[in-house]
Chains A and B, each alone.
Chain A
């Protein structure tokens, strides 16, 4: 018998109930007259604490708190793709239609459209035995993504009813399972899953494939693997959001979940507009058909910001379980950490580093560990790649969120203020960034691009490192007195920086570069380096070499060569040979 609970205290998003209650830890509750969504976060003998995911202005003490007896969950089923949700999976488009321009409290619209009918194919029949995670029905969610309805992971037994192929709504019962303990469970196209519990998978598999993003500095210099985790830290104005948007647009994942966590409203609008207009380079369909957006802008309730990351990853795991490669972009995890800090402060917990709660590292590691390459319960292979932006205060990478994120991710793309000031985008600093996946991905590059790929990459990295060293000297005495071979290194490094690492997200050709073009570009640059070195050794002055204009031509090759014609690079090789023959 459940008792009725009443609000006792209100402090910002935190609500307390006096006395002993029968509420469970992490249980979802409805608070007050407007049925605001909340979650139980602390229980003791004389008080129960609830964090409320909606604005608490206007709440009265004494209003009722209604127990639901299940944890904070999301609804999983067809109709998720192409949608835009807030942090607790409320559909924003549907809310805008119902409530207008401004967000209103307590609007309860189902997360996925319940009246839409899906052409469903049923894969099981009466008498079959099913296990958790098995695919039992199929429907076309969007023209490019087939939705595979899964038996809930905690359900297995004998099929006692299976519907015919046909049109079904998400809540229609299409199968009945008699479980081992004798009870009967009805299956429909949708199911619920608690956001803070990772969905189970059969096994973790070793990482072997890169996530190709079409960004040169990432794919070539600091690649991320399918199933890997990466962090993008950077101060404001360094291009975190543009980088995240580029990855969301061009990464070769099947499903993208983009979580805008505590960021700008206009950016989410931009993402929504761009993703509906832009076409996926591989399928030619609008990007939105493979994307789920979660928008919890900075002025939306702080507790929902904390939940938005978990909502996102649970949706990503659901598609992983169908055997898809999914990628989740979280922009930015610092806002999530700050939300944790804000709630922790309201609970008067003992603060650790910079006021963040002591459990910050464990929460971060729990989150990033949900990335990986898996064998799913239905025996297919699926992956989740996590890419988290970090906004360090004052662009100081020694603050706790950056430092802890660094520990749990193996790929670190450090965005640099001075590069951004010079409008070098993506402003990924090649000295501070690293990727631990390079050696794991070596076989893939060898088989799919060229055996020389990593060799070239390392040569490029070597030239850049050399440049950094030389620049220390140049800063003190100027570049004039350097010997010619060192001047050449600086010039080649300039070609690499401007012609290769810099990539223009607004340029039609340059915004996405196929991996073969990366390779050919490196090849041409290194060929120039080799040839010019020989010329310098023959005492040809560097000024004469530069006057040929070949260096400047290479800087512009990223624009001049179309993405589908890598063979045109042969022309550059010939030209370099010719130019240097004429010099001697």
Chain B
């Protein structure tokens, strides 16, 4: 039932209040028609008796109490979907932005989605080769995983994301597409992504949802949900492998904070609402593989850690939901290492079941365990060297320092267009480990060492 109201009862921030509303429901879509004839969208976020609180996506500027006509649409927010959305560009609310006209919908879906029944999930095991050594060897990306990139302002997370998209797509012969959602990113960043996709010849496989930094903030809360609804449709109904890039989750969380405080909610840590965890989970958990469909949704959310602080609520809560994280390190970045992946902080939780014989190579697990353990020792040696000086170190520690340097320069560091095969990556790892004495490689069994260890040491 569609009903129309004239006038509003209160305007505050991005919220307006309507009184005497019959039969409205939670999360119902609303359209507001202003005095000058322009139209804005909103949705009901709270109902009390006959009073409905409406969140206006484009803001309440220019809205007057008396001459606004409000239409209740009688349905929750939905996105028009068809296989033709691939290659299109939408705004943050899922409206076409590329001038190619409306999407002719095959179906319409509620953007809030519904939780996947844990019983219906298929445990992800199939790895995605990204051609980036640090990720392939040490934090392997698995199809159906959600693996965020924790970065800081001014670091090369966008370049890394683009490289993953370019190289992951090349390695795959199955149907593959990208859903890209920008939340509060600058125009030129969005443009960088678009250009890179074009250069890599994947633009005809990308669906973009753009809420740029000068677009209304409240729209940002909707943008990732639109993108994931599109991704779920393409994956589970069109059987495609979808890689979703969400950038920047920090802007999203800030938009949520702004919205929460305008509703007058009790703030939690750093002013973020108490339900930030549940809210982020409702986004991140929309990744995976389900029974009865060949498709998958893999998520790479990018977030910039405020002040590079990994204990800030946004990276902290994200880390508790996602299946690992790739952390970029500013010190590595300033020494010219790209990608500046801080491997000790990075982790892929699904990696253990997706590597080894039949997936990558039988020695993969031993190699990655040993690289982690040895690199952790490098950090100890470095902190010791900074106190007593490098010359005073034991020979063992000096070898470790040399290993650490080489590891960063040869293994972590690679070109923005360098696409390493998994064999190349693993062999490189063994080459580096062979710099260390054989008996210090305590995570590797003897038969694997016999096969791969090339060092001369005892």
Contact = CB atoms under 8 A, between A and B. Distances in A.
Interface in B109-132: 110, 112-124
Interface in A548-569: 549, 552, 555-556, 559
A364 interface: no
Interface in A295-338: 295, 297-300, 302, 335, 338
Contact of B27 (A57, A272, A302): A57
B29 to A, nearest CB: 12
B266 A55 contact: no
A574 interface: no
B44 to A, nearest CB: 9
B118 A92 contact: yes
Contacts of B236: 101
A298 B26 contact: no
A268 B118 contact: yes
B24 A479 contact: no
Nearest to A481: B392
Interface residues of B, number: 84
Interface in B87-126: 110, 112-124
B321 interface: yes
Interface in B329-383: 344-345, 347, 349-350, 352-353, 365, 369, 372-373, 376-377, 383
Interface in B258-310: 265-269, 273-275, 277-278, 281-282, 284-286, 288, 290-293
Nearest to A240: B320
Contacts of A391: 320
Contact of B286 (A299, A421, A479): A299
Interface string A61-80: 11000000000000000000
A341 B265 CA distance: 12
Interface residues of A, number: 76
B188 interface: no
Contacts of B290: 101
A299 B393 contact: no
B313 interface: yes
Interface stretch (A208-216, A259-267, A453-461, A514-522): A259-267
A265 B349 CA distance: 13
Given A236-B320, A264-B323, A96 B49 contact: no
A366 interface: no
A84 interface: yes
Contacts of B27: 57-58
Interface string A415-458: 00000011100000000000000000000000000000000000
Nearest to B368: A423
A335 B276 CA distance: 12
A58 B110 CA distance: 11
B316 A342 contact: no
Contact of B387 (A104, A237, A269, A476): A476
Interface in A101-158: 101-104
Interface in B227-277: 236, 265-269, 273-275, 277
A423 B369 contact: yes
Interface in A9-54: 9-12, 16, 18
A266 B288 contact: yes
A477 B387 CA distance: 8
Contacts of A10: 25-26, 46-47
B384 A266 contact: no
| Candidate in A56, A262, A295, A297 with the most chain B CB atoms within 10 angstroms | A297
B20 interface: no
A540 interface: no
Nearest to B265: A345
Contact of B316 (A61, A236, A478): A236
B268 A355 contact: yes
Given A103-B116, A421-B376, A354 B277 contact: no
Contacts of A295: 118
Contacts of A101: 116-117, 120, 236, 290-293
A403 to B, nearest CB: 16
A348 B24 CA distance: 24
A96 B120 contact: yes
Given A18-B49, A101-B236, A269-B121, A355 B266 contact: yes
Interface string B378-403: 00000110011000111001000000
B114 A102 contact: yes
A475 interface: yes
Given A9-B49, A264-B323, A475 B120 contact: no
Given A265-B285, A341-B274, A354 B123 contact: no
A16 B48 CA distance: 8
Given A62-B23, A236-B319, A338-B274, A55 B117 contact: no
A422 B344 contact: yes
A273 B47 CA distance: 42
A486 interface: no
B442 A552 contact: yes
A260 B321 CA distance: 13
Nearest to B350: A266
Given A55-B114, A61-B47, A476-B387, A298 B23 contact: no
B350 A58 contact: no
Contacts of A298: 277-278, 281, 284-285, 321
Contacts of B353: 270
Nearest to A349: B266
7 smallest beta-carbon distances between A and B, as pairs: A394-B311, A298-B281, A422-B376, A236-B319, A299-B285, A9-B48, A268-B118
Interface of B: 23-27, 46-50, 76, 110, 112-124, 144-145, 236, 265-269, 273-275, 277-278, 281-282, 284-286, 288, 290-293, 311-313, 316-317, 319-321, 323-325, 344-345, 347, 349-350, 352-353, 365, 369, 372-373, 376-377, 383-384, 387-388, 392-394, 397, 439, 442-443, 445
10 contacts: A101-B116, A266-B123, A272-B118, A345-B266, A394-B316, A421-B344, A476-B388, A477-B387, A478-B392, A559-B445
